[in-house]
Structure 1
Amino acid sequence: MATRRRYDPDTEGIPITAGMPSGTIRPPTSSARRSPFLPTRLEAQLLAIYPATLLLGSIFSTLSPASRSAPYSSVSQSHPPEFAPSYFAQKKNVFNVYFVKVGWFWTTLAFAFFITFHPGFGQGVSTRRVRALLRYAAVTTWWVFVTQWFFGPPLIDTMFRFTGGQCELLRDPEAREGMSETREFITGATCKAVGGTWKGGHDISGHVFLLIMGSSLLWLEFLPALTRVEGLRDGRLITLSDGKTATVAVEKEAHKEGADATARGVKFALSVAALMWWMLLMTAAYFHTWFEKFTGLAVAFVGLWCVYFLPRGVPQLRAWLGMPGV
């Protein structure tokens, strides 16, 4: 069942346009955020978990005797397997190989499960479901640009080469001795495919980027379903087509499908997001430098802001992407 639109008498004078999201529309209160481009208090608390997790993992790696005593390779951004201080510090641990390495598959599966089975999207090809798919497509495009392809090498590899990185062939001693100069390849993947080592530049943490991007997409999509629980509702400030601002909130909704309607489609997505958080903590504790993890966080936040917060202040963009839960 779609969320019903309810207007407060106090909203007189605020024009209702076709591009306005549904939900409860009211003028911003005196304590409201001054910019629609900023997250709500609840969203800010959620997003703050990510830098806090990176900080916690980094502190743990600094204070843990096992981590401090284990050698660390700046080339592989990890501890050598034979000296790994934990099972999760090994790149070949089962969660890294079958979950993180294919993290966008799990993100896509959880997102598909959510928009298919959660009753808040209505029946069939609803407007709310189409807009959710457009948001997913936008986030996925950013993931592709950063990690797979950006009119050539992905942004991660472009940044690596821009900061002085290159590929060094190390596997074949004879080939190495015969080289007058270091061989260069366009991407880290092609470098490793020919037995080289990708080194020398700044390596944005792809794991940090993927885990934050994937789990945040899921959280921001199903957060409105959770905020229908009493005490968690939180209004979002938007800019209307005439330049005025208003607050839109997700109404508490009674579904005919039963008391478990909010949980349908959410439990699996929540499990994937929780496992992504755990692997983010393990990445923060055992892989990459502080700055590499920070840039992975920053690049992920850029994509999230463009898809989930920029449309709140740009009605034309909001007409296409909408907002989760409305």
Structure 2
Amino acid sequence: MERIDRWARSARSCLVRSSVRRAMPWGLLLLTLGGSLVKEWAPLPESYFSNKRNLLNIYFVKLAWGWTLWLLLPFISITNYYVTRNTLAVLRRITSLLVGTVVWYACTMVFLHIEDLTSSCYKSPTLDVLHRQHLSRLQCQQAGGFWHGFDISGHSFLLSYCALMIVEEMAVMHNLNTSRNPRLHMVLNCLFLALSCFKMIWLFMFVTTAVYFHNFSQKLFGTLVGLLAWYGTYRVWYLTPFSPGLPPQNVSLSSQKPKRSL
């Protein structure tokens, strides 16, 4: 327990600062630019992570929204209830996850639609001979062709959006003191560390996407959509009364009486 507490304190000192939240969107853009430059001008040798079948991609990135949702749901519920002691306020904040789910699904569908609109079927990966008679992805693949078009990077979108959401929701930990409630303290520390680990995984896989996959414009569009989704919610809509609202911030509970254990 002491080791977990020590790790959580170290992670708090690095990850919940307002400066981190301000810098992260620019950092994601720079990672996209830098990774794309590496891919075009100084390609890295093939590695385990240049293979789409790597374990992090299969079991984590492809399920990134599910993992993020699964961890943020209890984290938001517990921290917001501890701060507000108001069930309705907690339910209101949880709707931010519903908003995120709608954003993720809608953007994914739009990306697929754009790819279909801009794609053609080719006979080989060299993209030199068209299969003009095959006008859909399914027909093309059944004929052994290669369906190619403007494939906006879903990884760049989803990983940037998930990482930004996690950073925003973890901000509540900045001044939250639960040391007088050992069980709650342990639960929140474990959830916080799990979210911190997933944030690192999302950022690492975001970088591998930048240096190994897609072209610059596809990654840039994906990243910009992720940033726009974050900005439109946490920086615009969530500041208004009729919204899920922002996580409780700048609230110090160290002087409060101990709360009843969970």
Deviation at 1:97, TM superposition (A): 1.3
Three-state SS of the structure 1 residue aligned to 2:60 is helix
Amino acid at match of 1:52: L
Deviation at 1:55, TM superposition (A): 2.6
1:118-158 Cα shifts (integer Å, max 9, x gaps) = 444339972342123211111110110111xxxxxx10022
Distance 1:300 1:255 in 2: 36
Aligned to 1:48: 26
Three-state SS of the structure 1 residue aligned to 2:231 is helix
| CA gap 1:105/1:301 in 2 versus in 1, 3 angstroms | same
Deviation at 1:305, TM superposition (A): 1.8
Q: Is the 8 Å Cα contact of residues 284 and 293 (structure 1) preserved in structure 2? A: yes
Q: Is the 8 Å Cα contact of residues 169 and 183 (structure 1) preserved in structure 2? A: no
Given candidates 150, 166, 172, the residue that maps to 1:224 is 172
Instruction: Tell me if 1:270 matches 2:196.
Output: yes
Instruction: Tell me if 1:197 matches 2:136.
Output: no
Three-state SS of the structure 1 residue aligned to 2:146 is strand
Aligned to 2:181: 257
Aligned to 2:99: 138
| CA gap 1:254/1:62 in 2 versus in 1, 3 angstroms | same
Deviation at 1:281, TM superposition (A): 0.7
Instruction: Tell me if 1:166 matches 2:92.
Output: no
Aligned to 1:210: 158
RMSD: 3.1
Given candidates 57, 63, 66, the residue that maps to 2:35 is 57
| CA gap 1:124/1:192 in 2 versus in 1, 3 angstroms | farther
Three-state SS of the structure 2 residue aligned to 1:300 is helix
Deviation at 1:264, TM superposition (A): 4.6
Q: Is the 8 Å Cα contact of residues 21 and 167 (structure 2) preserved in structure 1? A: no
Aligned to 1:121: 81
Amino acid at match of 1:269: L
Aligned to 1:300: 226
Deviation at 1:89, TM superposition (A): 0.5
| CA gap 1:286/1:160 in 2 versus in 1, 3 angstroms | same
Gaps of 5+ in 1: 1-39, 68-84, 148-153, 229-251
Distance 2:161 2:144 in 1: 30
Determine which structure has the larger helix proportion and give its number: 2
Distance 1:222 1:161 in 2: 37
TM-score relative to the length of structure 1: 0.60
Three-state SS of the structure 2 residue aligned to 1:266 is helix
Please say which of residues 209-218 and 124-133 is displaced more in the overlay: 124-133
| CA gap 1:204/1:257 in 2 versus in 1, 3 angstroms | same
Distance 1:223 1:146 in 2: 26
Gaps of 5+ in 2: 1-17, 250-262
Given candidates 155, 176, 185, the residue that maps to 2:110 is 155
Q: How does 1:165-184 map to 2 (within 5 A)?
A: 165-168=119-122, 181-184=132-135
**Identical amino acids, percent of aligned pairs:** 23
Distance 1:100 1:271 in 2: 13
> Based on CA coordinates, which of the two structures has the bigger radius of gyration?
1
Amino acid at match of 2:164: S
Q: Is the 8 Å Cα contact of residues 255 and 261 (structure 1) preserved in structure 2? A: no
Aligned to 1:101: 62
Distance 1:146 1:210 in 2: 9
